Amino acid sequence: MTFRTRFAPSPTGPLHLGHAYSALIAFRQAQAKKGAFLLRIEDIDQSRSRPHWEEQIYDDLQWLGIKWQRPVMRQSDRASAYKSALNQLTDMGLTYPCTCSRADIQAAASAPQEGVPQFGPDGRIYPGTCREKTFDLQDAAPVVRLNMHKALQRISPPEFDEFGPLYRGTHQLDPDHLQSHVGDIILVRRGMASSYHLSVVVDDAAQHISQVTRGADLWEATQIHVVLQTLLGLPIPRFYHHDLIRDAAGKRLAKRDDARAIATYRDAGAAPQDILNLIGL
Ligand code: GLU
Ligand code: ZN
């Protein structure tokens, strides 16, 4: 199988040093393995995405010497693919509409118990209030969730292979961990064609991605993706979680720190090599 990896930025702001690091790691691996490097514009959140940021993504990547296969996939073109994945999960009886407000969730989840986490990779862990709701509500519901408990009963705990430096090896998903630390994730929000988790697995499969390259901050999200891939009968790619770059004081660089936007360095007269030096590549 040819090696195919991708960089999947959201056009909701400028690319930063951390993005440059991620894109270059993926691009260099594709080159070394004579594989393909793809770009995907994750503009699923149309309320925050701007064409102008998308243009700047192309400019910045080109300036860094990165080349990608065309055509570029854009999530805003893919609503029907997400809809059929959602229908597939609904037909399996694994989804339910949720009408809880943020405040409802917080109230139901209060009285924190020791050792039980309140937040997971998908935000506050959902207490399950709407789990028994029926489907006629689906179209009107603010969100549709995955019933994680039922979902995990449908599959045997899948494995995935990790090739990054931090977690290298084969990992088997732990159903207890997924229920207590992740819970009933959101699949679709009203006004958006899909959640991040659903769109990313549908798109990685559609782009025949053999290795998902991403930051270690998405390690928990990856476990959600492996569950969805298994439920949907999609191939499970290999994964490569890279470390996160840090500033001189050892603090993780935030993704949204405009002082570290690539464009800010470019405008100040930096050369691409200066960026490589800054990120240690
Ligand atoms: N759009 C996501 C981000 O920029 C994609 C990450 C991924 O799935 O690898 O964080
Ligand atoms: Zn609810």
Pocket test for ligand 1, best of 10, 48, 78, 162 (most atoms within 8 A of CB): 10
What pLDDT is attached to residue 134? 75
Pocket test for ligand 1, best of 7, 74, 196, 209 (most atoms within 8 A of CB): 196
Pocket test for ligand 1, best of 218, 225, 229 (most atoms within 8 A of CB): 218
Ligand 1 pocket member 143 (CB < 6 A): no
Q: What is the pLDDT along the chain (281 residues), one digit of tens a residue?
A: 799 999 999 999 999 999 999 999 999 999 999 999 999 999 999 999 999 999 999 999 999 999 999 999 999 999 999 999 999 999 999 999 999 988 888 888 766 666 678 888 888 899 999 998 876 655 678 899 999 999 999 999 999 999 999 999 999 999 999 999 999 999 999 888 899 999 999 999 999 999 999 999 999 999 999 999 999 999 999 999 999 987 666 677 665 566 789 999 999 999 999 999 999 99
Ligand 1 pocket member 8 (CB < 6 A): yes
Ligand 1 pocket member 214 (CB < 6 A): yes
Distance CA 240, CA 75 (A): 22
What pLDDT is attached to residue 249? 66
What is the 110 CA–ligand 1 centroid distance (Å)?
Answer: 30
Ligand 1, residue 7: give the atom nearest the CA. 9
What is the 139 CA–ligand 2 centroid distance (Å)?
Answer: 14
Ligand lying closest to the C-alpha of residue 130: 2
Pocket test for ligand 1, best of 214, 228, 238, 240 (most atoms within 8 A of CB): 214
- pTM score, whole prediction: 0.94
How many CA atoms does the CB half-sphere of 20 hold within 13 Å? Answer: 30
What pLDDT is attached to residue 95? 95
Ligand 1 pocket member 9 (CB < 6 A): yes
What is the 100 CA–ligand 2 centroid distance (Å)?
Answer: 4
Return the structure tokens found at 209.
């991605």
Ligand lying closest to the C-alpha of residue 202: 1
What is the 221 CA–ligand 1 centroid distance (Å)?
Answer: 10
- Atom 3 in ligand 1: which residue has the minimum CA distance? 9
What pLDDT is attached to residue 108? 83
Ligand 1 pocket member 42 (CB < 6 A): yes
Ligand lying closest to the C-alpha of residue 203: 1
Distance CA 184, CA 17 (A): 33
Rg (CA), the chain: 19
